A and B are shown apart, each in its own frame.
Chain A
Amino acid sequence: MSRHQQSSSLGPSQEELEEEEAVSGEGDEVMGEAEDGEGYTSSTPTSTLTWISWFCSLPGHEYFCEVSEDFIEDDFNLTGLNAMVPFWKEAMEMVLDVEPDEDSARVPDVSIVEASAELLYGLVHQRYIITRQGLQAMADKYENATFGSCPRVYCQNCYVVPCGRSDVPGLDTVKLYCPNCHDIYSPPSSRFQGIDGAFFGTTFAHLFFQSYRELAPAPFYKLSSSAASSSISPARSPRNASDSGHLEEEAFVNPNPYGGQKRAAGKVYVSRIYGFRVSERAKSGPRMTWLRMRPESPGDLDMVDWRGRWLDEEGGSEFEEDEDEEGGDRPMEDFDPVRTGLK
């Protein structure tokens, strides 16, 4: 209930909330606790269960985490949402388990408010899960494998996170993002096919793995574990090479401190007929291995410039004959934040 001096658009809802406080405060000592966002007894028949817990426990709602009531009660966090949610006041009351006003009779049907409450909760959820608290709540769910694992065989059951393709509700259902193959998949069960992707948003999945880098697979991979140490050592800082020695087998280090710190599952499928690789010269030969490939060492990533061209082997590629390959590209490197950020 802070931030009373918000913009005027928030005025009405702020007043509403205060009104609710006033209304509910009458002769109801339970509501006193409610303002703390703790031990809030709901107005629904099942008094021990808040609307939020109930909503998150519904089948198909396993991906949702519980947004703390403090977060919802802070109007700053709801900026702009009242324009997107019909029956805003009633929806807020439902989500926060506040006794409805006397004049709530103007709402034609409870199911409409329920839909609004769901939309409201979903949109708040999208914002909540990119806060520190929300990320932590989702990390707990992630480690319990609540979101399932990647269907791709060579991702070796890497856990996935829910991901929207749009931040605007009503456009697409929720998808699952795999941090190992950086791809998105449809949830395995049809019960998730009715969940709006906007309730998770486009940002969450990636902010999540930026925040928890130890959960994010690194962008490079070398096949055998004994060879893995040699793939790391060239780009490895001397600090690690000197003190860790034989520990290299277990310790995995990505020289990019802002990158994924987990050893990647980097195997790529090779199609074979009777044990022989299908040649890429065949019409049906492999065309998509690049999609899942990883360089052997992190330094290899720097062989491609910001425009996606090879820096060193212009002879090998047809495309680099174009115009300004070296002359145009080289000076740009210094201004490229991607490269300078890493070195």
Chain B
Amino acid sequence: MLRRAVEELSTGSDSDYSKYWISWFLSSKGNEYFCEVEEDYILDRFNLTGLNTEVTNYSQALDLITDNLDDDIQDELRGSLDVQARLLYGLIHARWIVTARGLAKMLEKYKKADFGRCPRILCQSQPLLPVGLTDIPYEKSVKLYCPRCEDLYSPKSSRHGSIDGAYFGTSFPHLLFLVYPHLIPPKSGPPDITAGASSEGRRVAPGRRAREELEGSVTEGVGEGVSTAAAALKADRYRPKIFGFQVNEIAKLQRWQEAIRDRQVARLEDLDV
């Protein structure tokens, strides 16, 4: 239904926007998650390898995206072509955002929190990143990845909830933080996208710090280095309480989870990651 509405919008506003399909696409409602794929990238056929089998009317859809479509095309074909053009653009987009320039473009959007903020209270409105659960189109809708709690959330608005996850791919957010490790957000405190965990420089000698934290003593956590081995120890978590008392079974589960965490921290500090 949404798609049809946008199609109508597209045909209706053809006269205004027909010049640049991509800018029309990006500015239409619901497409806020997409970034602009540079024309050079689309025009390089190498980048489109294999997409011709995924998209019917591939060459015409490509012409539509690149604004080279003949004006004398039939109206009914134009309607279905728009759907194919979206699919094609989405699949190109998934490839584009994992290139160096695509990552940089998405980073700008992330810094503006274009993808929304984490609904988890203790993530303190951490900006999110879009991610797919599969790279195959028409399977799963787009989800949002929070780099602070490292979990997935559904978009708040159904407009975004109906976007295909394959248009962003499964790798994008993880590749982003692999390329920009200094942007990995700290696990506590208010989000500051320009300065990640490492540039804030929170690290003491491995092992000792972790133990100090286990003992509950306040550590200064100031130093240089870029380890994230013990980052999880900083993470806040919610503890359910009834009249101020923890709930037995949940407290047990949380202790178990924290023991898992401590074991990982110990393992990583041993490796001195």
Contacts and interface: CB of A to CB of B under 8 A. Distances in A.
Contact of B211 (A280, A293, A316, A319): A319
A278 B174 contact: yes
Size class of the B contact interface (CB-based, 8 Å): 35 or more
Nearest to B249: A259
11 contacts: A177-B238, A183-B120, A183-B237, A269-B150, A281-B273, A282-B273, A288-B149, A289-B150, A301-B252, A301-B256, A338-B252
A272 B152 contact: no
A317 B121 CA distance: 31
B260 A293 contact: yes
A271 to B, nearest CB: 5
B170 A272 contact: yes
A319 B214 contact: yes
A301 B268 CA distance: 23
A143 to B, nearest CB: 21
Contacts of A274: 171
Contacts of B241: 202-203, 206
A309 B238 CA distance: 20
A27 interface: no
Interface string A36-76: 00000000000000000000000000000000000000000
Chain B, interface SS category: helix
B263 A256 contact: no
A271 B152 CA distance: 10
Nearest to B169: A274
Chain A CB within 10 Å, residue with most, of B173, B214, B238, B270: B238
Chain A, interface SS category: loop
Interface of A: 151-154, 165, 175, 177, 182-186, 188, 202-203, 205-207, 210, 219, 256, 258-260, 269, 271-275, 278, 280-295, 300-301, 303-304, 306, 308-310, 316-319, 322, 338, 341-342
B178 A290 contact: no
Nearest to B229: A287
Contacts of A287: 150, 187, 228, 231-232, 235, 264
Contact of B184 (A281, A284, A341): A284
A75 B199 CA distance: 58
B256 A300 contact: yes
Contact of A291 (B207, B257, B269): B257
B114 interface: no
Nearest to A154: B152
Contacts of A165: 121
A219 B247 CA distance: 12
Contacts of B250: 182, 206, 219
B256 A295 contact: yes
Chain B CB within 10 Å, residue with most, of A206, A278, A288, A289: A288
B1 interface: no
B154 interface: yes
B260 A153 contact: no
A318 B249 contact: no
In order of increasing CB-CB distance, the 6 nearest A-B pairs are A284-B177, A290-B261, A219-B253, A318-B266, A288-B150, A153-B152
B214 to A, nearest CB: 6
A152 B269 CA distance: 30
